[in-house]
Chain A
Amino acid sequence: MNTTTVDNTLLRRALAAVTTVDDPEIPGVSIVDLGLLETITATEDGRLTIGLIPTFSGCPALATIGADVKAALEVLPEVEKVTVEWLKSPIWTIERVTAKARRTMATDLTLAIKVDSGPTLCPRCGSPTVEKSEFGPSRCRAIHRCGSCFEVIEVMRDR
């Protein structure tokens, strides 16, 4: 596939379109800001291949996310065909989540991010939290409790 000769406005428009796709369970947070997008390649005749990586390999939302990405791209007039590929590498890590997504998750959804550099902080009051359960409602989330304001929160993690 030759990507170097493609007019890069198509790549820019494709990136903008993929960015409009939110995680199906985290409304307001784009899959691009969650770090799921790895590659976009395009041919001159408008065939796009989108390389995505899952947060967890067994994630049940993959088919839905793939369908949403296709739907977002197929409306672009210059796009002939869209292929979505789920890549085996690199492995998704929490560092891939952008600051923008972290802010939205904290303020809109009381959802924290687990980091290696220190304790997880409560999205409401900023105090350290304590893990209460390794698994919450999905494989990429644990359940914590804030030691200060007692909020029950979910914490997104990568392992």
Chain B
Amino acid sequence: MGRTWSSMNEFEAFLNEGGMVEVDDDMPDEYRATVFRFIELHANSELMGGLTERDWIPMTPGLRHKMTVLAKTQDEIGHGHLLYMVAADLGIKTRREMIEDLFAGRSRFHNVFHYPVRTWGDQVAICLLVDGAAVPSQKAVYKDCSYGPYKRILKRIIAEEGFHLRLGEERVLRISQGTDAQRAMFQQSINDWWWPALRLFGPDSKPDDKLARWRLKSEKNEVMRAGWVQKFVPMLHSYGFTIPDPGLTHDPETDTWTCGPIDWEPLKRTMAMDGPDTARRIAEASTAWETTQWVRNALDAAPAGVIA
């Protein structure tokens, strides 16, 4: 069965040599708790993201876009499902406890899901800027991830999020060819979503980051953030949109874009469950959870073997 380590030093030496931890290993409690929190946050964020996508199914313009929103909804809920199973396997909380904690406002989800999605322009901005931040973040976790079950699921999730990003690029291309009103709507969405998406990477990584030490993250937040700025500033400029950052600078020698000072207060507020749309989102999700209680009751009451 699983492996054991006599001390944290021995365990860290195992990680340093590239060792992979599996579900039945007797991993140190602190590592177990850290991996659990990390995957729970990811699962919660997939679920909250999926609920936003679901809200947009009836409002999405055109059949082709609607199909992509349907698919994104299924992707996000499916990812949440897989991640909750992997998180629950760590034996800290059951899947139901995680979902109940989320819908009671007791556990966190990523900052970008604490904001209202008001227009189709917002959906385009999210599909580009938020998925454009999620993909490198997830790749940085996947690249050298020490927890096997998470790494294997991340590989598939990254492939699917990469597809979302491609849809985002298509949507931007289309909306940028739209009417003046459509372009103005999208410019407003860039103004509203630029900073929340940028803050998704978090503040600069600390040198003693245990996520890096335990190989749960292989790239520094500031490096990923800089790459994101460098990718999206020229792209949005090329479509004739502006970036809502008065401190944005361009080095013509190296053709490098650098963002101005970052206000971290909004991130702190979302982490304290006090974002602009946090209360409404939690309330809506918890109402949905309560009104579907009968389904869970029926599943619980079914004889063993009837439902897998």
Contact = CB atoms under 8 A, between A and B. Distances in A.
Contacts of B81: 133, 136, 143
A36 to B, nearest CB: 16
A88 B112 CA distance: 40
Contacts of B85: 132, 143, 145, 152
Interface residues on A, range: 20 to 34
Interface residues of B, number: 31
Contact of A132 (B71, B74, B308): B308
Given A60-B71, A150-B24, A25 B82 contact: no
Interface in B199-237: none
Contacts of A130: 308
Instruction: Give the most central of B67, B149, B156, B157: most A CB within 10 Å.
Output: B156
A143 B84 CA distance: 12
B85 to A, nearest CB: 5
Interface stretch (A40-48, A92-100, A105-113): A105-113
28 contacts: A24-B162, A27-B159, A58-B67, A58-B70, A59-B71, A60-B68, A60-B70, A61-B163, A64-B167, A108-B155, A109-B155, A109-B156, A110-B153, A110-B155, A110-B156, A111-B156, A132-B85, A135-B78, A137-B75, A137-B77, A137-B79, A137-B156, A138-B74, A138-B75, A138-B160, A141-B78, A143-B82, A151-B152
B51 interface: no
Contact of B153 (A61, A108, A150, A152): A152
A27 B162 CA distance: 10
Interface in A81-135: 108-111, 130-133, 135
A154 B23 CA distance: 18
Nearest to B84: A152
Given A25-B159, A61-B163, A111-B156, A152 B74 contact: no
A4 to B, nearest CB: 36
Contact of B78 (A64, A110, A136, A145): A136
Interface in B158-202: 159-160, 162-163, 166-167
Given A132-B85, A143-B81, 11 more contacts: A26-B159, A58-B67, A111-B156, A137-B76, A137-B77, A137-B79, A137-B156, A138-B74, A139-B74, A143-B82, A143-B85
